[in-house]
Amino acid sequence: MPDLHALVLILLVAVAAAIVLLLVLLRRRPDTAGDGERQRLHAELQEERSARHALAADVARLQERLQARDAELQPLQARLDESHARIAALQDEARQLREARAALDSELSAARAHLEHRERAHAQMQAFLDQAQQKLSAAFSELAGKTFADTVKTSAERSRSDIEVLLKPFAERIGEFRKRVDVLYAEEAKERAALAGAVNELKSLNQDMAERAHELTRALRGNARVRGDWGELMLESVLRGSGLEEGEHYERQHSTSDEDGRTLRPDIVVRLPDERRIVVDSKVNLIAWQDAMNAEAPEVQQEALRRHAVALRQHVKDLAERDYPRALGEDTLEVTVLFVPIEGALSAALGADGELQAYAFDRRVVLASPNTLMAVLRVVDRLWTRDRIQKQAMQISRSGGLLIDALNGFLADFDKVDERLKQARDSYDSARRRLHESPQSVLERARRLEAMGARGRKALPAAADTGAGGASGLVAPDEAEPDQAEPD
């Protein structure tokens, strides 16, 4: 278009210059010139004037064409601006999805690192238990392999019974500890598999919600209660897909009152592990957005999108005035999530009103599409999973402390048993020496009495037999042969 204007101006300047040149030539010619020459110049002047009129007509036609082109360009420019706005909204949504995916990847990495740490701890604890079991088995085998004489048999059986009583709670705690470790390992593996499929589940859920939104948009028009129920239905679908459980992780229609006594009933209150809460609202008016989707003329569509952005801005203002976080108490995060159940509706509103996002942030309201809310709830679910794992780890740590305390108590009792066995051995050796190893022993005195004529039903054993144990059957535990049977 600028080239056409320049061409017209150049033609006008050329015509004006030619006319001026002819006038100058006519004035400079002498009056003695012939009439023929004068007529010729007059004819040329007439031709120049005709050419000028023709050029003026061409310029008028070109200006009309230029105005027509400008009129055609205006709707094209409006469509171009609309396309730019939609592209900006899509780019913003893509950025949010990338951030959500980065958050999920970070959670996955943290969960994997924690799982590896738990596996190493499980392996170390298993090795410790196996080693302790081997040592205890060896100690018990050594203890059980020793045989005692009839004089210490009752004491040994009583000690063995005491050891079994001591070991029974210890073995039960070991079994309980192993069960808890196995349950924790199984839950970790299950959570890891669930997290690995989170992205695919999010994608399929988004497609399902888009299809349902396309089928229900016409039925929702003009009925406020149906619109509210449908928004809550879409919110319920997102909550089910996030893995959160009602009653434990979130609650519906939580009733509370503000300072003026007005009853407030937010759609969803999501709980966090640290006793904090987040409010989610889903009552959004989508009539103007439906009008925009059904509009055929660009100007009608633009007006409907403008009304849609105004309605969403008004809803943000209403949520800010209700101030759910203040009414629910200081444990509630100072933001309210405004759930828009259709991705395209939120993108269209942000494209029509570039300041809508900042307007909502200033009033502590966060606009969330199904994908954005799903990412947020997934993070909340991972926080609950991490909290549960930490509590289980603390419980295992406490159980391990109790196990170590029980083991220390058992070792102390085992040392007492060993000390008593040593005392029994010392008592046995002392009794044996008094019996026949001393010149003044009971056995030597009995032999002297037998030599003087005293007789019993059975003669006393010889000295060699008595020294080897003989019929007395009094054999020290360390001196007994491995295959020696106990006396009848």
Report the mean per-residue pLDDT for the chain. 74
Task: For the chain, state the CA radius of gyration.
Answer: 51
> Which of 117-126, 235-244, 344-353 has the least mean pLDDT?
117-126
Q: What is the mean pLDDT of residues 273-289?
A: 83
3-class DSSP string for 55-66: HHHHHHHHHHHH
List Cα–Cα distances, 299 to 74, 295, 345, 433, 458, in angstroms: 11, 9, 18, 121, 132
Among residues 476, 462, 395, 371, which one has the least CA distance to residue 433? 476
Residue 427 has pLDDT above 80, yes or no: yes
Sign of the Cα torsion 373, 374, 379, 382 reads positive
pLDDT tens string 364-421: 998 988 888 888 888 888 888 888 888 888 888 788 788 788 878 877 887 888 888 8
pTM passes above 0.75: no
In this prediction, residue 359 carries a pLDDT of 92
List Cα–Cα distances, 382 to 87, 105, 185, 422, in angstroms: 32, 11, 17, 59
Write down how long the chain is.
488
Would you place residue 487 in the very low, low, confident or very high pLDDT band (cuts 50, 70, 90)?
very low
SS3 category, 263: strand
Domain ranges of the chain: 2-98, 220-368
Kindly give the interhelix angle for 370-432 and 224-242, rounded to the nearest 10 degrees: 30
Q: What is the mean pLDDT of residues 5-16?
A: 73
> Which of 136-145, 307-316, 380-389, 452-461 has the least mean pLDDT?
136-145
Residue 29 has pLDDT above 70, yes or no: no
Among residues 421, 458, 333, 481, which one has the least CA distance to residue 143? 421
The neighbouring-strand residues paired with 332 are 277
Q: Which of 12-21, 69-78, 298-307 has the highest mean pLDDT?
A: 298-307
> Which of 94-108, 324-338, 432-446 has the least mean pLDDT?
432-446
